[in-house]
Structure 1
């Protein structure tokens, strides 16, 4: 995926948090992503790691990597 998007092609929404399991964005953020300017996209992307951690969501790629450790 492009560096302009946090999408990892795991597009499923967590019913508890309303966040995407793969990237941590909300549905409204996903829906208007292509209309955001670069600064707004980067601002959202900067929030995603903390947002995912706070929601206890682990992207599937990270979960798979931890199983091999």
Structure 2
């Protein structure tokens, strides 16, 4: 019998939870809607936010 353990939910959170004037978290750059839905999102949705959306936001801030 093989025991399987649940996989941890991937998150860009770095523990700096503060909203900036632009409406995005200062630490992870997620919107309040993304933060609120994070656990309800599918793994594919979370990966899209982390691999596409957040890098685009970070590039816009630079």
**What is the Cα-based RMSD across aligned positions, in Å?**
1.5
**Bigger relative contact order (CA 8 A; separation at least 6):** 1
Greater fraction helix: 1
- Per the normalisation by structure 2, the TM-score is 0.77
Q: Which runs of 4+ in 1 moved over 6 A?
A: none
- When the two structures are superposed, what TM-score results if normalisation uses the length of structure 1? 0.70
Between Structure 1 and Structure 2, whose CA radius of gyration is higher? 2
| Structure 1 residues without counterparts, runs of 5 or longer | 57-69
Gaps of 5+ in 2: 1-7
